[in-house]
A = this chain, B = another copy of it.
Amino acid sequence: MKVTFQIRGASPVSIECTPGENLLELARRANVAMDAPCSGNGSCGKCRVKLLDGTLETVRSPHITPEEYEAGWRLACNSKVLSDCTVLVPDAAGAYRSRMKTAGLSSPEEIAIFEACQKQLKARGISFDNGFRSLDVVMDSPSLEDTMPDSERLERAVKAILAVENVRIPFAVMVKLARVLRENEFRVCVKGRWENDSFCCMEICPPDDTALVGCAMDIGTTTVTLVLADLKTGEILAKGSCGNGQIRYGADVINRIIQQGRPGGRKELRDAILEETLKPLAANLCETAGISASSILCLSIGANTTMNHLLLGLDAAPIRMEPYIPCFFRWEGLLAGDLELPANPLAPVRIAPNIGSYVGGDITAGTLASGIWDREEMSLFIDLGTNGEIVFGNRDFLMACACSAGPAFEGGDISCGMRATDGAVEAAAIDCVTMEPTLSVIGQPGQKVAGICGSGIIDMISELYRCGIINARGQFQRAGRRILRDAFGSGRYVLAFPEESETGREVSINEVDIDNFIRAKAAIFSGVDTLLRSVDMTADCIDRVYVAGGIGSGINMKNAVSIGMLPDVGTEKFRYIGNSSLSGAYAMAVSDGAYEKCVSLAANMTYLELSACPGYMDSFVAACFIPHTDRSLFSNSVQEG
């Protein structure tokens, strides 16, 4: 039996199967990209396919209207294959594919972020030095009078240059030593690093290849971003990002942990991030930078606890089972070769330490980059990604917690939600009178609307509330051309009618979406509230708010405050610092001191388990309104709804 996937913009893919197999599983096996943020349990409704030919046995889903069902639409996760089938994978699912594209080189603005990070850390006493070196090594050619073996010849020459006692030549270098020395007539470039009082020769090259490169990796649940940086100058050589290939195993860490626990799952998840994501992305960047992977002598990783485990192939199951124990927080000694990462196999891998099962290295790296650990003033650091994590404190203490915000900030749990990619509404305004929207859509001019990303949802909810279209509970209370209601009376606001949209389907935001998002923003707000209360402080104590994370690039801080997501402390205190996990990883790759600082600040961070805090649930429930049940908390920003 055979299933053929027709994919817009790509060649069809066929796969053999046996009767009764699940269509989503088949798509995964066939490497057909399909959005399945709920990991196939039928709840998200994103794995839509159109049956063109053949028979599927499908459990009916509320996500498919009777008209759609009639037209052939099915959820892949709910469908069993009963005969040879041909299905169309619509372009909406292709958003996944587009996310897998490698982004180009950085713009000057993006590069400025790294320069700012370097400047900021230097100002705080972190030296941007490291122990990596490239040496121009010239040796006498051997003769009958001088029969020193190759390794000793190299060792002596390196010792003479560095005035060092011990020189280590590892296996990978020894294997090519004879050839490289002779091909280059005993003049070579040796790349290596200091290991305490000895020098390790990590690579031996022709004398003109002197590149020393560090690779910083931000491995997000959704998006992976890498930069290559010159280890001598800190200069950014290349930057690129793409989707995390694990996404087809679920949008959030919980679904991925479940998947990795199935037979062969650890390897599948590891292959998805390593083989499908990191290797092609790194190869692409190496080509852009004109360097060989073996010139990458240092790697650093900013990733959450689960992503760290899945990358290393460690069993992540205990992370989600009481008592929630990860394999490691801090771990040194990993080499690129252990993981077969695309780099010199001897390159150390510097993992930003985790501090809890749900506060990982992305947050410690981000905290490093934010500089809040060195300031007297009290800072709040919020990373808005697939979940939300919060750090609060100053040079004297740091508290951290994770909020169960779910994937809403990245478009998950939202009917027309999508990630910040082509076709996504990233900003919006509504005319209070006409109730007509003004939308900012990601993409080339003329790009039609395909869905809404996190920052667009914030704007929409803020504007709907400001215009009185929805009330504080998120229920629709005005009528108009763009406000439709379903059979049960539940309202929705249409951003794009079917004929206006990219997909031919209506793009709207409904009451269920708003409710989901309100719970997500309430998780953040009550997290901040609980964290502050745990140190007997209030929002008044906050001197600065640093917002980081993928959601943030288009985020309208004022709107985020007005819906009660962020505390109402005055927008002048807010600062968007971009992908702070990547900035921190960059610093750790290039600077030995930054890595040490990240390790030490992680060791001194206190992890607060919100669910164990008295009052957290009350705080959460109170925050499940727009902006909050206690409007006095938002007296600066809020206009009456």
Contact = CB atoms under 8 A, between A and B. Distances in A.
Interface of A: 142-144, 146-152, 168-172, 174-175, 177-179, 182, 312-315, 317-318, 322-335, 338-339, 354, 356-357, 612
B144 A327 contact: no
B175 A142 contact: no
Contacts of A354: 149
Given A175-B312, A312-B174, A314-B174, A149 B328 contact: yes
A336 to B, nearest CB: 11
Contacts of A179: 315
A329 B174 contact: no
Nearest to A328: B151
A579 to B, nearest CB: 26
9 contacts: A142-B325, A147-B324, A147-B356, A149-B329, A171-B338, A174-B331, A177-B327, A178-B317, A178-B327
A304 to B, nearest CB: 14
A356 B142 CA distance: 14
A570 B320 CA distance: 79
A323 B144 CA distance: 5
A514 B312 CA distance: 64
A380 to B, nearest CB: 25
Contacts of A150: 318, 325-328
A146 B328 CA distance: 14
Nearest 8 A/B pairs, CB to CB = A151-B328, A171-B338, A178-B315, A144-B323, A142-B325, A149-B326, A150-B327, A149-B329
Contacts of A333: 168-171
- By DSSP majority rule, is chain A's interface helix, strand, loop, or mixed? loop
A145 to B, nearest CB: 8
Given A147-B324, A177-B314, 13 more contacts: A142-B323, A144-B322, A144-B612, A150-B327, A152-B328, A152-B330, A168-B333, A170-B333, A171-B312, A174-B328, A178-B315, A178-B327, A179-B315
| Most-contacted residue by chain B among A144, A149, A150, A179 (CB, 10 A) | A149
A329 to B, nearest CB: 5
A323 B174 contact: no
Contacts of A332: 168
Nearest to A356: B147
| Most-contacted residue by chain B among A314, A317, A325, A328 (CB, 10 A) | A325
Nearest to A148: B325
Nearest to A313: B175
Contacts of A317: 178
Given A149-B329, A152-B329, A328-B151, A323 B171 contact: no
Contacts of A324: 144, 147
A314 B181 CA distance: 13
A147 B321 CA distance: 12
A227 to B, nearest CB: 24
Contacts of A172: 338
A18 to B, nearest CB: 32
A375 to B, nearest CB: 29
A255 to B, nearest CB: 19
Nearest to A354: B149
A339 B170 CA distance: 12
| Most-contacted residue by chain B among A171, A172, A317, A333 (CB, 10 A) | A171
A178 B179 CA distance: 43
Contacts of A182: 318
Nearest to A339: B171
Contacts of A328: 149-152, 174
A144 B357 CA distance: 12
B171 A334 contact: yes
B314 A175 contact: yes
A325 B149 contact: yes
A354 B354 CA distance: 46
A28 to B, nearest CB: 24
Contacts of A171: 312, 333-335, 338-339
